[in-house]
Structure 1
Amino acid sequence: MSEQDPNESPLGFFTRFWLAYIVFFKILFDGFYAKRINNLHPPKALPDAVVEADTQAELENKLGKDERRIHELEAELKALKSEASVAGDARADGALWLLGLLQKEGRFVDFLQQDIASFDDAEVGGAARVIHDGCKQSLEKHLDLEAIRTEEEGAKVTLEEGYDAKAVKLTGNVSGKAPYSGTLRHKGWKATRAELP
């Protein structure tokens, strides 16, 4: 804004109105005149330092929030890794315990590690019967098992929305939302009682 001369009197309303009317059309239809008027009073910009300071403060604030969120997520991830490690160790211990149980009562591992190609079918069948009986007794001693699905294998089944995805594994071309229809390949098993050491 230019400084005003204290001895100068302002223009009257109608004079300003008439001047605005003339200047409006002069600017509208004369590009050179419009440029000269524009150069008389260039728009004032905010000082770069103020803009940069505000932007810098905003960025630092956002960065601080982002860093705090990263630290929170890292802590959550560390806790989840720890829980997964404990769960993984427990699963491994459980699997090894079960394998040891089947080996002790049914010599299951010995049977699997043996090369049975050199034995005739009758010998393999006889060994399988002994192993089957020992493993079954071991399981019955510590677990009660029942079928997850009651339908016969090979039957057509439909799984409605809300089915237990941990108990039933879908295979093949699975897309969209339930209900899903397909063929039951295996009934599956679940433990209804477990007495583990």
Structure 2
Amino acid sequence: MSKKITPVSFVPRFFGAFGQFFKYMGSGDYAARCQQIAAGDVLASETEPQTITETVEVIREIEVAAPALDTVSSDGAYQLLQLLQQEARFIDFTQESIDGYDDADVGAAARQIHAGCAKVIQQHFTIETVKDAAENSRIDIPVGYDAKQVKLQGRVAGDGPYTGTLIHPGWKVVETRLPKVASTDSLHILAPAEVEV
């Protein structure tokens, strides 16, 4: 007996689409499964369930804690938000309810916001991949690798070296070109109120 599928409303679909876009771009396996579904192929989860018993030994999981900062400077964050607002109206978009708009209107707005955000990133940052290799290619990870730059998944035994499949090359900032400001007193004002008189 098939399980009834409940339709998803617009807002969860919209934000889900952004998440699925990055997941699709970041995983070749996931993209292949999406293409299977689009072609009408039946997934294994839609067939009769089978019980599979397998003993798996979990040797070690590597967890890297988020960096703890002694001091936090919000000036750079304010600057970036200001730039995103100026070029892409980013704050306007995230603060406004989109429930009353149809998919076509939201799609057109998202295209403009994407172009503006891309312009800000390209002008003020140089971003490169962490691993310069094609996705789904086999790469070697040496002993003593930097766990902040490389995240190992699956069964991790010993201290390396390791050989694995590159799922996502990662991103890193190699240069920042945020504008210099003489005073940081009003950086928290992301966009001034506009009054026509």
TM range (shorter): 0.3 to 0.5
Bigger relative contact order, structure 1 or 2 (CA pairs below 8 A, ≥6 apart): 2
More helix, by proportion: 1
The TM-score normalised by the length of structure 2 is 0.47
When normalised by structure 1's length, the TM-score is 0.47
